[in-house]
């Protein structure tokens, strides 16, 4: 499975003594505490002087080992909720801000458990070219997989890509933990234009006889962008596009009824077994996100 292949790959790279943080740009110097660095990136209001971006190879390897089980599980829960996915002949996935590709990990499992022979064509967009070694390994895995699966990657700013490119084959669009990143990096003001261009440059070009599925998975907090999920539905309506949308949440450490966003998933359990040796990373063992499923007719 891709998830185990890539977490093993990143774990091995992380533990190589020669793989030091040569390109770490932390202003206070790298202390070797990747868990702390990730917290600084993900919670900038708590760490105003902390690390701001994924600018270290070690950090990316740690990130894959820490978060892949959680993120891939959240995506798999959402895939299982989509009736329209079954009506798509082959999956042409556009992953916006793909990172370590937990969505592709989830899709591989989804195709296997639905006993489908459908092709997976995956295009991942990420501005951070430090992901290159990880993406190259994903491409090799995909080419050698028993499934009909291919992966391609472009290193561009995701918003710039959507603003400037026309893409006619996409029938699945993944927006996973991108909106909260825009919020954390003070770019949330770009979200409306991003949605408008996503519709005009990609979504309107969908096949007329086939649905298009949009999967949004992100932090369950309006303080970090969740209130912008539904803005995409409004822009789709303005463009004359019709379909259905549903919201879901995981009942993990819910502190406010406002976090009960749509329908509750029956479980918060991770769907992939975490190997014992990964306890070092203290990986998430429960799902916690808010999600929106949009199925464009």
Do residues 104 and 93 make contact, with C-beta atoms less than 8 angstroms apart?
yes
Task: Compute the distance between CA of residue 74 and CA of residue 63 in angstroms, rounded to an integer.
Answer: 16
Q: Residue 291 gets which letter from DSSP?
A: E
* pLDDT at position 19: 52
According to DSSP, the residues that pair with 124 across neighbouring strands are 95, 153
* pLDDT at position 222: 77
* Nearest to 61, CA basis, from 125, 24, 11: 11
Helix (H, G, I), strand (E, B) or coil at 187: coil
Task: Compute the distance between CA of residue 273 and CA of residue 295 in angstroms, rounded to an integer.
Answer: 30
As a whole number of Å, the end-to-end CA separation of the chain is: 32
Angstrom CA distances, 153 to 21, 125, 129, 212, 266, stand at 24, 6, 10, 21, 34
Do residues 147 and 108 make contact, with C-beta atoms less than 8 angstroms apart?
yes
* pLDDT at position 47: 83
The dotted CATH code for 71-296 is: 3.40.50.150
Task: Compute the distance between CA of residue 268 and CA of residue 73 in angstroms, rounded to an integer.
Answer: 9
Task: Compute the distance between CA of residue 249 and CA of residue 220 in angstroms, rounded to an integer.
Answer: 8
Q: In what order do the strands lie in the sheet with 290-296?
A: 149-154, 120-125, 91-96, 172-176, 212-218, 290-296, 243-249, 263-264
Helix (H, G, I), strand (E, B) or coil at 247: strand
Its pTM stands at: 0.94
Do residues 206 and 243 make contact, with C-beta atoms less than 8 angstroms apart?
no
Task: Compute the distance between CA of residue 156 and CA of residue 159 in angstroms, rounded to an integer.
Answer: 8
Taken as a whole, the chain contains a residue count of 297
Q: C-alpha dihedral over 236, 242, 243, 245, to 10 degrees?
A: 30
Task: Compute the distance between CA of residue 189 and CA of residue 88 in angstroms, rounded to an integer.
Answer: 33
Task: Compute the distance between CA of residue 178 and CA of residue 102 in angstroms, rounded to an integer.
Answer: 13
Task: Compute the distance between CA of residue 121 and CA of residue 173 in angstroms, rounded to an integer.
Answer: 12
* pLDDT at position 44: 83
> Which residue ranges make up each domain of the chain?
71-296
* pLDDT at position 199: 96
Q: Residue 135 gets which letter from DSSP?
A: H
According to DSSP, the residues that pair with 123 across neighbouring strands are 94, 152
pLDDT tens digits, the chain, 297 residues: what are they?
Answer: 999 999 999 999 998 855 566 666 676 666 667 888 888 888 888 888 778 788 888 899 999 999 999 999 999 999 999 999 999 989 999 999 999 999 999 999 999 999 778 999 999 999 999 999 999 999 999 999 989 999 999 999 988 999 888 998 999 999 999 999 888 888 888 899 999 999 999 999 999 889 999 999 999 987 777 899 999 999 999 999 999 999 999 999 887 888 899 999 999 999 999 999 999 999 999 999 999 999 999
* pLDDT at position 98: 96
* pLDDT at position 30: 65
């Amino acid at each position: 499975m891709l998830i185990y292949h890539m977490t093993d790959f990143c774990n091995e790279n992380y533990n190589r003594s020669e793989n030091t943080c040569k390109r770490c740009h932390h202003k206070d110097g790298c202390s070797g505490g990747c868990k702390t660095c990730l917290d600084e990136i993900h919670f900038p209001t708590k760490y105003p002087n902390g690390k701001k971006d994924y600018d270290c190879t070690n950090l990316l390897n740690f990130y894959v080992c820490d978060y892949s089980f959680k993120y891939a599980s959240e995506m798999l829960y959402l895939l299982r909720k989509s009736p329209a996915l079954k009506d798509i002949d082959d999956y042409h996935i556009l992953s916006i801000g793909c990172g370590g590709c937990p969505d592709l990990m989830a899709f591989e499992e989804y195709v296997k458990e639905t006993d489908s022979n459908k092709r997976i064509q995956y295009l991942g967009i990420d501005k951070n070219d430090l992901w290159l070694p990880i993406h190259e390994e994903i491409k090799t895995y995909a080419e050698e997989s028993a499934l009909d699966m291919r992966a391609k990657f472009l290193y561009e700013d995701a918003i710039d890509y959507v603003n400037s490119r026309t893409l006619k084959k996409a029938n699945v669009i993944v927006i996973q933990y991108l909106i909260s990143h825009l919020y954390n990096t003070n770019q949330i003001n770009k979200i409306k234009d991003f949605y408008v261009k996503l519709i005009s440059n990609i979504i309107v070009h969908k096949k007329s006889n086939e649905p298009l599925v949009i999967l949004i998975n992100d932090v369950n907090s309006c303080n970090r962008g969740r209130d912008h999920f539904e803005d995409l539905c409004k822009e789709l309506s303005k463009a004359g596009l019709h379909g259905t949308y549903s919201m879901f949440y995981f009942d993990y450490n819910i502190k406010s009824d406002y976090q009960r966003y749509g329908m509750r998933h029956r479980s918060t359990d991770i769907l992939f077994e975490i190997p014992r040796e990964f306890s070092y990373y203290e990986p998430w063992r429960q799902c916690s996100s808010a999600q929106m499923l949009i199925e464009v007719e």
